[in-house]
Amino acid sequence: MLRLMHPFSAQPNEGVGLYILWTVAVLFVIFKLLAPAKCDLPTVNGRRRFEIGQYQARRRFALDGRGIILNGLRKARAFRVVSQKGPKIILGPEFADEVKSHPACNADVFIAKEFHAHVSGFEVLRPQQVMKDAIRLKLTRSIGVLMKPMSAETALILETQWGNSDCWHELDLKSTIASLVSRVSAVMFVGEELGRDQKWLSIVTNYSSDMFVADLDLCKWPEALRPIATYFLSSCGKLRRHIREAALMLDPILSERYSAPHNKHNFLDWFEEVAGGRKYNPVLAQLSLAAAAIDTTSDLIIQTLTDICRFRDSGKLQQDLREEMVRVLRADGWEKSAMYNLKLLDSVLKETQRVKPVVVFGMGRYVTEQMTLHDGTVIPQGETINVVNTRVWDSAVYPNPLEWDPYRFVRRRDSGDHAAHLVSPTPDHMGFGLGKHSCPGRFFAATKIKILLCHILLKYDVKISDEASSTVVSSGNFLFPDATLSFCVRRRQDNLTIWG
């Protein structure tokens, strides 16, 4: 975590070959500095006087990315920033609808370039249509069938990890939620045998976290040298090792599954069914699923529990949530209708995602040909653009925008606002993206999160120690929950648990 927050700290000596690469890199940087700029938009955090290269500019962005973006928006609606990952064009939220459907804006190419999908160790991040089809055609349509198994798995994990003591005891919230989310997801994705295997869970969890560190390490190198630099960076070597270990565990299961009939169905089968003869790598697909399922889901659960505990009338809010859960689960059980009717819980989650989104800007696109925006701004071919998600803090859209109001979206929903649902992205709230490239797994993620929180709040009292003060941690474009909070739980004794 420290390396992710402070990616420009000194790195250990990683071999003579690294020095050779650095020599080539210096020459490459000099050439880039002398080359003309591709776009005349202003840069809000460029090099200062006497600075050589972009090292200091990148470091400043790593330490205060949100502040730099907000400062840039006060000066212009389209501008450049020098991020940890290099120069980017940032657009104001008014461009969201235009960018989401513009034919010159390519999301897949952006992802491939942004996350080095052509580089060894990062193959997991190559866009795979087979995976998108499996999520859309199989996972989303199977949510109703998966709800009871997810509930049962959650109950098993909480019984083991959180226990039944009616005395307050402290938990490491970050690690326990990550463990809960990764195992529930894994059992749904690969089945109970592998999904409960601690070695498999360690691989998929560590790949996801190690990828962020390796990404920042690789971004210190010129793009043209990254396919070579990856072999000299220990952080990138970890990714390749995770992929090899995942293959060793998954391949025997796949061989057995394909050679004999069975009646169990999960992503291992769904990939084969939707592939229709198209080539895909099931190991990379599973690691990609895990990377998408663990971090952002854990982030939202951790921040939601933090917000609930820090709310000025936390006791009443928790009681309101429990009463809704009992009422809905008694009426509907673990059915899709229950997820729709958990209106307050949905509102709480959407409000948390609004006040503390995962990123300040998103909607990344690669510009395939020169484009002109509605205000006349010209974006050259070959640029990468992002749209800010800052309307979530705009008082013209959300009254008292910096206040966490758990009932905000209940009121909006009751007044007929159909976009007030957690899974409904808009330019005013892009927690799951926007348009056809919105997160395809958001319906599954929302269901999983609600199931987990129902178990947690119905079975446990939760609190944060009185002296603790919650602080959102900013690192570049990312906003992280405070991992230092003292989170305490105790088993409830009022028999509110209704599993239908």
- What domains can you pick out in the chain, each with its CATH number? 37-127+360-388 (3.30.43.20), 128-191+264-358+400-500 (1.10.630.10)
360 has a pLDDT exceeding 70: yes
> Residue 23: its pLDDT value, please?
64
Contacts of 139 (CB under 8 A, 6+ apart): 267, 270, 441, 444
Residues at the binding site for heme are 439
**136 within 8 A of 440, measured Cβ to Cβ:** yes
Cite the annotated binding site by residue number.
439
Q: For residue 130, which phi and psi values (nearest 5 degrees)? A: -60, -40
**Poorest-confidence range of 9-23, 51-65, 425-439, 457-471?**
9-23
pLDDT band at 231 (very low <50, low <70, confident <90, very high): very high
- Least confidently predicted of 9-23, 153-167, 245-259: 9-23
Looking at residue 496, its pLDDT comes to 60
Q: What is the pLDDT of residue 363?
A: 95
Residues in a beta bridge with 473:
480
Helix (H, G, I), strand (E, B) or coil at 32: helix
Categorize the per-residue pLDDT at 486 as very low, low, confident or very high, splitting at 50, 70 and 90: confident
Average pLDDT score, the chain: 90
Distance of CA 333 to the CA centre of its chain: 29
How many Å apart are CA 117 and CA 455, to the nearest integer?
38
